[in-house]
């Protein structure tokens, strides 16, 4: 499965989520590579220092991203693409290539307005493609405890036609400070910072991976 993380708004937690997803999916036994489509490849660089066994690639051109993703998926890997936080070739390519686009979004009316660009791109691609690909989900990120704005932003999002994951990635200092929180026992306890990523994977990614496996076995 090819999972793209994208938002036309920058700084919403795409790369942070990408790092944690790559580590966690590999730990669950799903061989998952990263294609870092950001200039200077910050996500790939951090992950390389964290675990040199991870499969990490960097490409910023349309053809480069396409080549890396094709090669990795043909050799049996799942792929996560981390796009830069702006509209452009990388995000358009990501929408074309992905089976699932995750759209991280911070809870603010302004961020929501700046996210409309990527939402429209995904919707357009869904209309054009056979089978409505890519599947997509908005993920609220950096949410605060008891934030009264969350229900109204969820309500506002209903009109855009892309479902919002029940799981939120909460604002946690450990998530900010660590390349990944997924292997550190201190972060995995009940309600620890790792649990949000685990819940998101259980809610959004595992059902699709299992479905993909079932279809390929038929």
Where on the chain is the footprint of ligand ATP (CB under 6 A)?
10-16, 38, 84-85, 141-142, 169, 171-172, 175-176
Please report how close the Cβ of residue 129 comes to ligand ATP at its closest, in angstroms: 25
Distance between CA atoms of residues 148 and 198, nearest Å:
24
Q: Does 180 bind Mg ion (CB under 5 A)?
A: no
Residue number with CB closer to ligand ATP (9 or 133): 9
Residue number with CB closer to ligand ATP (56 or 175): 175
Distance between CA atoms of residues 89 and 86, nearest Å:
10
Please report how close the Cβ of residue 58 comes to Mg ion at its closest, in angstroms: 13
Please report how close the Cβ of residue 72 comes to ligand ATP at its closest, in angstroms: 21
Q: Which does 135 bind (CB under 5 to 8 A by kind): ligand ATP, Mg ion, none?
A: none
Count of other CB atoms within 10 angstroms of residue 133: 18
- Are 1 and 78 in contact by the 8 Å Cβ rule? The answer is yes
Residue number with CB closer to ligand ATP (86 or 154): 86
Q: Does 15 bind Mg ion (CB under 5 A)?
A: yes
Cα dihedral value 19, 177, 7, 101, nearest 10 = 30
Residue number with CB closer to Mg ion (2 or 12): 12
Phi, psi of 11 (to 5 degrees): 70, 30
Q: How far is residue 59 CA from its own chain's centroid? A: 17
- Which residue is it, tokens 């699709």? 208
Binding site for Mg ion (CB under 5 A): 14-15
């Amino acid at each position: 499965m090819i999972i793209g993380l994208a938002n036309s708004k920058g700084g919403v937690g795409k790369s942070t989520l990408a790092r944690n997803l790559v580590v966690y999916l590999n730990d669950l036994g799903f061989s998952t590579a990263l294609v870092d489509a950001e200039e200077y490849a910050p996500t790939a660089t951090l992950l390389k220092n964290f675990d040199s066994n991870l499969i990490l690639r960097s490409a910023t051109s349309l053809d480069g991203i396409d080549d890396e993703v094709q090669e990795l998926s043909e050799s049996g890997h799942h792929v996560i693409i981390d796009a830069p936080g702006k509209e452009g070739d990388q995000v358009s390519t990501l929408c074309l290539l992905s089976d699932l686009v995750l759209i991280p979004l911070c809870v603010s009316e302004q961020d929501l307005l700046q996210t409309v660009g990527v939402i429209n791109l995904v919707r357009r691609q869904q209309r054009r493609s056979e089978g409505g690909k890519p599947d997509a989900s908005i993920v609220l990120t950096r949410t605060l405890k008891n934030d009264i704005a969350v229900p109204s932003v969820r309500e506002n999002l209903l009109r855009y036609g892309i479902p919002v994951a029940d799981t939120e990635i909460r604002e946690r200092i450990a998530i900010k400070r660590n390349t990944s929180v997924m292997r550190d026992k201190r972060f995995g306890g009940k309600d620890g910072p790792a649990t949000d990523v685990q819940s998101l994977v259980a809610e959004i990614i595992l059902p699709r991976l299992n479905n993909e496996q079932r279809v390929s076995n038929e």
